[in-house]
């Protein structure tokens, strides 16, 4: 029954991107396979980084809230043309799927806020996991056939999250450094929030991993490659 409801939610969300209706979030949890709310061990051991929990949000997000809402977060960059750099691309090394869009860039390239927002996470104190810890966690993910939430967070490395209201949050991951930002502070679009790096998963090389989270899901969840790229083309200006 739960899997059926998830399928309905995905179908509605796909229709939203084409018709301009309201986006729903009847989607499976991102920390495990559809229909499974458990999260088996093992998990990588680390101290969770403080995060401000956004205020309760509506169950629906109007499509108009996403259209042309964001700027590309790296000066002079464009949206990638490779579907493998978008959400829903497989990530076999951890038995998971991609949940964001990647912008390859040199280490140290400034990362800019994609829209006005409030800082709800900034990893000012961050210790990357060791190669051995990473290998063990990824092997465990492959054995589980999905990536546990804690492992996925560590793979993202050093991060900044911005809450844009309306149930929309952007996550900037694999950062080399973060700017001097305070939790709960408001920042303007285009503000430098950090620099490009490869923390969390150095094998991926330096790039910015950007996620657009919508309530309990992410932009592109459950869509075809063509539909995902279309959705991101509409979300950025």
The answer to the question of residue 11 being in a domain is no
Cα distance between residue 46 and residue 53, in whole Å: 20
The answer to the question of residue 167 being in a domain is yes
Q: How many domains does the chain have?
A: 1
Q: Where are the alpha helices (DSSP H) in the chain?
A: 2-19, 131-144, 149-155, 225-235
The answer to the question of residue 159 being in a domain is yes
Give the pLDDT confidence score for residue 27 in this predicted structure.
29
Give the pLDDT confidence score for residue 47 in this predicted structure.
57
Maximum Cα–Cα distance for the chain, whole Å? 47
73 contacts 101 by C-beta, under 8 angstroms: no
Two structure tokens written together for 142: 């492959």
The answer to the question of residue 132 being in a domain is yes
Give the pLDDT confidence score for residue 55 in this predicted structure.
66
What is the extent of the structural domain holding 88?
68-235
Give the pLDDT confidence score for residue 50 in this predicted structure.
78
Cα distance between residue 77 and residue 199, in whole Å: 21
Residue 212 is part of a domain; what is its CATH number?
Answer: 2.70.70.10
Give the pLDDT confidence score for residue 9 in this predicted structure.
41
Give the pLDDT confidence score for residue 136 in this predicted structure.
98
Q: What's the Rg (C-alpha) of the chain?
A: 17
Extract the residue ranges of the chain whose pLDDT is less than 50: 1-45
The answer to the question of residue 162 being in a domain is yes
What pTM did the predictor assign? 0.81
Q: Identify the DSSP state of 197.
A: B
Give the pLDDT confidence score for residue 191 in this predicted structure.
98
Give the pLDDT confidence score for residue 15 in this predicted structure.
34
The answer to the question of residue 40 being in a domain is no
Give the pLDDT confidence score for residue 84 in this predicted structure.
98
The answer to the question of residue 86 being in a domain is yes
The answer to the question of residue 174 being in a domain is yes
């Amino acid at each position: 029954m739960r899997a059926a409801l998830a399928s309905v939610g995905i179908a509605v969300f796909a229709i939203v991107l084409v018709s301009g209706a309201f986006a729903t979030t009847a989607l499976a949890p991102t920390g495990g396979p559809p229909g499974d709310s458990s999260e088996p061990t093992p998990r990588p051991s680390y101290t969770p980084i403080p995060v401000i929990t956004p205020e309760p949000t509506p169950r629906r997000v109007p499509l108009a809230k996403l259209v042309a809402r964001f700027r590309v977060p790296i000066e002079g960059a464009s949206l990638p043309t490779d579907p493998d750099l978008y959400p829903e691309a497989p990530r076999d090394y951890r038995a998971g799927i991609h949940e964001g869009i990647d912008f390859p860039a040199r280490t140290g390239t400034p990362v800019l806020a994609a829209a006005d927002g409030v800082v709800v996470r900034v990893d000012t104190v961050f210790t990357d996991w060791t190669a051995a810890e990473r290998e063990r966690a990824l092997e465990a993910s492959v054995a589980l056939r999905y990536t546990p939430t804690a492992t996925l967070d560590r793979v993202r490395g050093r991060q900044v999250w911005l809450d844009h209201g309306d149930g929309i949050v952007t996550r900037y991951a694999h950062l080399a450094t973060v700017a001097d930002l305070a939790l709960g502070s408001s920042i303007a679009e285009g503000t430098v929030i950090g620099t490009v790096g490869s923390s969390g998963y150095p094998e991926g090389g330096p790039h910015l991993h950007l996620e657009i989270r919508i309530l309990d899901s992410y932009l592109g969840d459950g869509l075809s490659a063509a539909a995902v790229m279309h959705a991101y083309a509409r979300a950025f200006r």
